[in-house]
Structure 1
Amino acid sequence: MVSTLPNPGSINLKPATKAVVEESILAPRFYTTDFDKTASFDLSTQAQEFEAVLTEMKTDYNRHHFVRTEAFQQSWDHIQGEERQAFLDYLERSCVSEFSGFLLFKELSRKLKGRNPVLSEAFSLMARDEARHAGFLNKAMQDFGLSLDLGKLTRNRTYTFFPIDWVIYTVYLSEKIGYWRYILIYRHLQQHPENRCYPLFHYFESWCQDENRHGDIFKVILRSQPQLWNNWASKLWSRFFLLTVFATHSLTVHERSTFYTMLGLDPTAFDADVIRETNNTAARAFPSVLDVDHPQFFPRLHRCSDRNLQIQAIERSSQPKAIKFLRKLPLMAGTLWDLVCIYCTAGRDAEALRTEVC
């Protein structure tokens, strides 16, 4: 069982070890934030709800879940070529994302200890889960002859400062969109077991409940802070972060379409399903959400994905940098225009709809 993440510097890794992950606009990032402001958060208006989710976290339903069974003890050499690379890319990105969450939550827990002990405990419990996820994914990568040196990765990455308000919005969304990704893949593979190419997918049903519980904690934190939901600015910020998370998801899914195709999923349909469900879920926490039913929402979003693929193709070409830039410029401008148009479309007043979606 992977109960905690070992000290990154002491992980016994196979020879094929990566200490550097390619930086890109879609790559998971490492964050730091304003710890003093976080410590000052008053959760009293949501005390009952917070205690409920904290109790569920303490129960630790998945403490015996991450056990590598005999199903892993075989060769995976039959997965080759583009599909093998797509699967490794998925494992790598997921591992880095979970490890990034572990580092942020662990540091928040450490900084808040003695100043806001209840919140510190919540972050410690979330760090526990993220550590398990990252460790389990790193073990999966080893099955394919590769592993991440998480210690060196940590030291080599650039840490981005995000105000704690932004962290709350984005982490809430990343946990909830993670839940919907996992559960939709799990349900699909339950109906189509012939596409379950690796035992990891058996774990997704319980795994996604960790994501869901983490999102619930951030929902309680968000609703305890009026500045995050009870003014006009919060409505603008809510829709902005929804758009950034959805755009990133759409670009990533289509950039890595081979992975979803090998599972028997249509990438475009899967992307739309995840976004719709996440938007509906966000309406339970955010004051305003996007109008994903607008007839231009998904066409504009998926045009951005198409342009991103064109940009990637241009970047891989052997042309001079100046020529590449000129070719990419109209594509980037078109993407920016479509995103602005989506953002400027009237959103849905989630406060007014709350009784309908809860």
Structure 2
Amino acid sequence: MTDTNVKSPAKETLLTPRFYTTDFEEMSKMDISQNAEDFEAILEEFRVDYNKQHFIRDEEFNQSWNNLDTQTRSLFIEFLERSCTAEFSGFLLYKELSRRLKNTNPILAECFLLMSRDEARHAGFLNKAMSDFNLSLDLGFLTKNRSYTFFAPKFIFYATYLSEKIGYWRYITIYRHLEQYPEHRVYPIFKFFENWCQDENRHGDFFAALLKSQPEFLTTFEAKLWCRFFLLSVFATMYLNDFQRSSFYASIGLDARQYDIQVIRKTNESASRIFPVALNVDDPKFFRLLDECACYNQILLNLSNNHKNQLTTLFNKLNVSFKLAFNLIQLYLIKPLNTQNTWNTIK
């Protein structure tokens, strides 16, 4: 039997999956009675546990993966690590929320508990996949040593709603592509994405219900500004990350840019059913500016690896960072689409 090595966690950057904490007292005081029926229906779906028997490895996993070339193997391990870290981050947040809300808001507490069950299942499945490459993540070490970012509850709702919905569209897009081109399915984990993404979708629906239960998070002028901010933040983070990892997507037969454009369009459309605004992704400047941001980010990464002439490197990094920030501001200022008049339509 081959020994499994514990992998050191990836270095934290602005674009790596983050661990979150929030104001648990504020959460415990939330009144969700305006949307009680939705929560009851969602809770019933969570209790059914549609994927209870889904994440079971089959015989296709029982083989050597040494046939993968070094670059593909490295990229795939990074994909598994980032995915596992993101799922485990969700597990920790949801588990803590379920514990803190148990006495004050039992419906929310049970929803968070059952979502933490799903996230733990996903993280465990991904970590087991890493063991096929003789590696694993020490999730206990991550729990204790990763830095936690504080977000107010409403920001948790915006960010996590989008994270779950974009996760759905990422997984289902890869699944459908590999269903059409099975020769590119280099590893069996992709077979699980169709059912897997339904967990993400249900979690997103839960956060949509939370947002709807607090009208001030969706109907005020300030809410519109924050919705734009989080839409752009989530889309730009994905776009910049995937630009760096275009070789991984190429290894499964996908063009990273076209994949991201498809996922952004679909997530933007999904979000328009709950957010008061959507980004105007059809504006000719939108993807052009994102492309430039991705290039600037790559230049910054290259400069970070340049240890010669520190003063010149610092000046160049400041110059490129300014250009990147200026592009993001231009993206934010593209006039958004008002979606409130379409909230009651079926898309």
TM bracket (short chain): over 0.9
Q: CA deviation at 1:19?
A: 4.3
Q: Which amino acid aligns with 2:23?
A: D
* 1:15 Cα offset (Å): 4.0
Contact 2:236 2:290 in 1 (8 A): yes
Change (3 A) 1:157 1:320: farther
The superposition leaves residues 236-261 of structure 1 with CA deviations (integer Å, 9 ceiling, x where unpaired) of 00000000000000001111111101
1:71 match: 60
Identity within the alignment, %:
50
CA–CA distance in structure 2, aligned partners of residues 352 and 293 of structure 1: 19
One-letter identity of the residue aligned with 1:193: P
Contact persistence 1:21–1:153 (CA under 8 A): no
Contact 2:94 2:113 survives alignment (8 Å): yes
Alignment partner for residue 71 of structure 2, among 75, 82, 85? 82
Matched, 1:232 2:221: yes
Query: Match for residue 220 of structure 1?
Result: 209
1:49 to 38, 53, 66: 38
> Are 2:123 and 1:134 aligned?
yes
1:210-238 superposed Cα distances (whole Å, 9 cap, x missing partner): 00000000000001101110110000000
Taking the aligned partners of 2:79 and 2:193, their CA distance within structure 1 comes to: 14
In the aligned structure 2, how far is the partner of 1:140 from the partner of 1:49? 35
| Corresponding residue of 1:277 | 266
> Counterparts in 2 of 1:288-307, with a 5 A limit?
288-307=277-296
Q: CA deviation at 1:80?
A: 2.3
Which of 151, 175, 179 aligns to 2:168? It is 179
Does residue 160 of structure 2 align to residue 155 of structure 1?
A: no
Other-structure match for 1:190: 179
Contact preservation (8 Å) 1:20, 1:156: no
Query: How far has the Cα of 1:316 moved from its partner?
Result: 1.6
Q: Unaligned stretches of 5+ in structure 1?
A: 1-12
Q: Is residue 19–residue 153 contact of structure 1 (8 Å, CA) maintained in 2?
A: no
- Which shows bigger deviation, 201-210 or 24-33? 24-33
Find the counterpart in structure 2 of residue 164 from structure 1: 153
Q: Is the 8 A contact 2:39 2:107 kept in 1?
A: no
- Within the alignment, does 1:341 sit opposite 2:330 as a pair? yes
Q: What does the per-residue CA deviation read over 1:111-168, in whole Å, with 9 as the maximum and x for residues that have no partner?
A: 0011100000000000000000000000001101111001011111111111011000
Which residue of the other structure, out of 107, 115, 118, is the alignment partner of 2:96?
107
Q: What amino acid does structure 2 have at the position aligned with 1:185?
A: I
C-alpha separation in 1, matches of 2:224 and 2:310: 40
- Cα deviations by residue, 1:292-313 (Å, 9 ceiling, x for unpaired): 1111001101110111111111
1:61 aligned to which of 50, 64, 68? 50
Contact 1:19 1:152 in 2 (8 A): no
The answer to whether the 8 Å contact 1:280/1:357 transfers is no
| Structure 1 residue 146 corresponds to structure 2 residue 135 | yes
Query: Hey, what does 2:246 align to over in structure 1?
Result: 257
How many Å apart are 1:14 and its aligned residue? 4.7
Taking only aligned residues, the RMSD between alpha carbons, in angstroms, comes to 1.2
Aligned counterparts of 1:44 and 1:189: Cα–Cα separation in 2: 43
Partner secondary structure for residue 166 of structure 1: helix
Quick one: distance in 2 between partners of 1:319 and 1:85? 27
The number of aligned residues is 346
Q: Deviations over 1:150-194 (max 9, x none)?
A: 101111111111101100000000000000000000000000000
- Select 1:94's aligned residue among 74, 83, 96: 83
Distance 1:169 1:333 in 2: 27
Q: Per-residue deviation at 1:101?
A: 0.3
Match of 2:190 in 1: 201
After superposition, give the CA deviation of every residue in 1:16-43 in whole Å (9 maximum; x if it has no partner).
1024321111111111100111111111
